[in-house]
Amino acid sequence: MVLVTHVTAIDAGAVPSLLAALGRRSRIVRANKGEPFPDDVDSLAGVVSFGGPQSANDDHVDYVRAELDWIPRVMAAGVPMLGICLGSQMVARTLGATVGPDPDGLYEFGYYPVEPLDGAADDLALDAPLTVAHRHGEAFTMPAGARHLVRRDVFEHQAFRYGETTWGLQFHPEVDDAVLSRWLDRDPPAEDLGRRGAQTVAEQRANHARYHRAVHAWLGRFLALWLASAER
């Protein structure tokens, strides 16, 4: 399993331990540090691309351009592909969708509920609303041919599935204590916290304590479904 991060290795959050619980070993590729993407994509058991402050439109950034070129190879090989936040925007863009900021300047930073749509129970192992972490000012349009699985009133497109083995999640189910601490303590986001739609630090800490266990329980179920997609 390859986990692609764009800031620090911490950003993989709960995913490595949840994969380990499913009997899968993983390794991190730090794209922003120039670590190369595996060339032999057919040998991979799965790929997760995580979030970051970059944009999927940053073609001028070498590693963003390289990842945009690599993702279609992963998908064409039938390897389970999961994009989270920036990763989902990259997947959506490679499928012909557009990525851009909310027209009203909204920025989601905190815990907000998402609503499953028809098919989410089968395609996402999600059958009830889930309150989960977000941190983004950009989002994707729905790729042609993708199944829209989760929505919100703002940033409507929150999750999709394309074909059998590719998913995109706009939200951040991987957030654990270490990720939240980096977001709120070690990387003080004064500007982000002041943007329209962001929750306060106190709200985020309280919501994380209240919701993250349920989110990780769902994420474990979903990762099992995601990994099984290559076996169908």
Say how far apart CA 46 and CA 21 lie, in whole Å: 15
Instruction: Give 150's contacts (C-beta < 8 A, 6+ positions apart).
Output: 114, 115, 116, 117, 120, 124, 126, 158, 159, 169, 171
Which residue would you say has higher pLDDT here, 189 or 146? Answer: 146
CB atoms within 10 A of CB 152: 17
Q: pTM value?
A: 0.96
For residues 107-128, average pLDDT: 97
Domain residue ranges of the chain, discontinuous segments joined by +: 2-231
> What amino acid is encoded at 170 in this protein?
Q
Whether the pLDDT of residue 190 is over 80: the answer is no
pLDDT band with cut points at 50, 70 and 90 for residue 231: confident
The reported pLDDT for the residue numbered 191 is: 81
The predicted-structure confidence for 12-57, as pLDDT tens digits, reads as follows 999 999 999 999 999 999 999 999 999 999 999 999 999 999 999 9
Cα end-to-end span (Å), the chain: 18
Lowest mean pLDDT among 4-8, 96-100, 192-196: 192-196
Residue with tokens 């349009």: 141
The CATH code belonging to domain 2-231 is 3.40.50.880
CB atoms within 10 A of CB 203: 12
In order of 7, 10, 79, 166, 218, the CA distances from 225 in angstroms are 27, 24, 13, 12, 11
pLDDT band with cut points at 50, 70 and 90 for residue 232: low
Closest CA to 6 of 78, 60, 84, 73: 84
